[in-house]
Amino acid sequence: MVKLKILNFFYLIVVFAFHADAQILYGKNNYISYSIGKLPIVVSIPHDGILRPNQIPDRTCNNPTTVRDVYVYDLATQLDSALERITGCKPHVIMCHLNRTKLDANRNLIDAACGNSEAETAWHEFHHFIDTAFSLVQNKWPSGGLYIDLHGHGHPIQRLEIGYLLTKEELSSTDSLLNTEEYISKSSIQRLVNRNINQLSHAALLRGNFAFGSLMSNAGFPSVPSSQDPSPDTTDYFNGGYNLVYHSSLNPNIFLDGIQIETNYNNLRNNYLNRKKFGDSLAKVIVEFIDYHYGVNLQNCKIINSSKIEEKAINHYYSITDDNIIKITELNFDEYKIKVFDTQLHHIPFSILDRNHIQISTQLPAGIYFLQLQSKNQTKTIKMNKI
Ligand SMILES: [Zn+2]
């Protein structure tokens, strides 16, 4: 308890700074940064820091690994830009700027900081920022979200290793074994297994056609596990570390599902163009994954935060009646694809009654809703009130 009080003191002196559009928080001595986002996506980079302050001795306790995951911060920067381009919103990004010789932010406190108090403070800040990002996501996105701990591996097979905390022996099991409660209870995407909107099994989420690894493989980045490469079997594979254990729905009290992505070097981290290509592909796959499994269309984040939304809330023709009907006079339904969604971007089912009316299929509570009309040439989004 005493320790907690000391920590709170450190958090109080965290510095606020504004960089362009992003709001970035820094910990003490700028060792840890947190770029606050709006998407239900949290990315952490524990191993690409370059700072080696003299006052923190090099880690020597418990045979530490000190190799840096080079260019992974660049991957996260590319991902951040691509997500903003696609959705109009940023992810939450937490970065450890201390070199791994000084702090390993993906280990327990003792192994991470080897007893140095300055490194310990940075370790607490790193995890506190992840917790903060999780609570912001939880408040805004009731359907959940995705945490990604991003790394680089030096294994000979050039592929992404997607970690779900399941060992390679466990991934060598049959689908039916992976679908048992015993295996699901070891998974970092436990919440998604119980709530995914298509009711896919654990095995299907790990290596079916719409698994994260399968989508990345389809985008040109071979991955394990995936439908193309279902199990690492006896080859080198990282299945997830400290961060995934403590910041994923492995713990039923944690709201976000988590995956660890270990990136290969050749054709991915080795030059700027490949890093940009990877960031673009990863952003598209994350958006597709969240849309398909969580039922949340993040592309609407841009629309909801855009000034182009037509404010017709007070217009009779664009409000939702007590009978849950939207009346539209100026449009021809044949020319438009229609979507209705709420402020959480959940799609709301409806049927078309006639050329001027659509009937919402569920009883909506009072609030703000959006009607999106998409033709070949334009997308029009109209804000509506249900009183
Ligand atoms: Zn790493």
The DSSP secondary structure of 172-197, one letter per residue, reads: TS-HHHHTSHHHHTT-TTHHHHHH-T
Q: Which among 353, 202, 372, 384 is positioned nearest to 301, based on CA atoms?
A: 372
Parts of the chain belonging to CATH 3.40.630.40:
2-297
Residues ≥6 apart with Cβ < 8 Å to 38: 89, 90, 140, 301, 305
Residues of the chain with pLDDT under 70: 1-22, 304-318, 329-334, 377-378
pLDDT score at 331? 59
Q: Report CA(94)–ligand 1 centroid distance (Å).
A: 14
Q: Report CA(375)–ligand 1 centroid distance (Å).
A: 45
Helix or strand holding residue 26 (H, E): strand 22-26
Q: Report CA(47)–ligand 1 centroid distance (Å).
A: 5
pLDDT score at 365? 84
Q: Report CA(78)–ligand 1 centroid distance (Å).
A: 18
pLDDT score at 73? 98
Q: Report CA(295)–ligand 1 centroid distance (Å).
A: 31
pLDDT score at 329? 64
Parts of the chain belonging to CATH 2.60.40:
307-386
pLDDT score at 212? 98
pLDDT score at 316? 42
DSSP character for 108? -
Q: How far apart are alpha carbons 195 and 316 in whole angstroms?
A: 37
Check: CATH 3.40.630.40 for 2-297? yes
Fold of 307-386: Immunoglobulin-like (2.60.40)
Q: Report CA(17)–ligand 1 centroid distance (Å).
A: 27
Q: Report CA(144)–ligand 1 centroid distance (Å).
A: 25
Q: Report CA(209)–ligand 1 centroid distance (Å).
A: 27
Q: What are the strands of the beta sheet with 325-327, ordered from one edge?
A: 325-327, 357-360, 350-354
Q: Report CA(150)–ligand 1 centroid distance (Å).
A: 7
Q: Report CA(46)–ligand 1 centroid distance (Å).
A: 7
pLDDT score at 207? 98
Q: Report CA(21)–ligand 1 centroid distance (Å).
A: 29
378, 314 in Cβ contact below 8 A? no
- CA 176 to centroid of chain Cα atoms: 28
pLDDT score at 325? 82
Q: Report CA(156)–ligand 1 centroid distance (Å).
A: 16
Q: Report CA(326)–ligand 1 centroid distance (Å).
A: 52
Protein residues near ligand 1, an ion, with CB under 5 A: 47, 69, 151
Q: Report CA(151)–ligand 1 centroid distance (Å).
A: 4
Count of other CB atoms within 10 angstroms of residue 260: 24
Q: Report CA(67)–ligand 1 centroid distance (Å).
A: 8
In sequence order, the β-bridge partners of residue 360 are: 350
254, 247 in Cβ contact below 8 A? yes
Q: Residue 113 burial (CB < 10 Å; 0-12/13-18/19+)?
A: buried
Q: Report CA(2)–ligand 1 centroid distance (Å).
A: 32
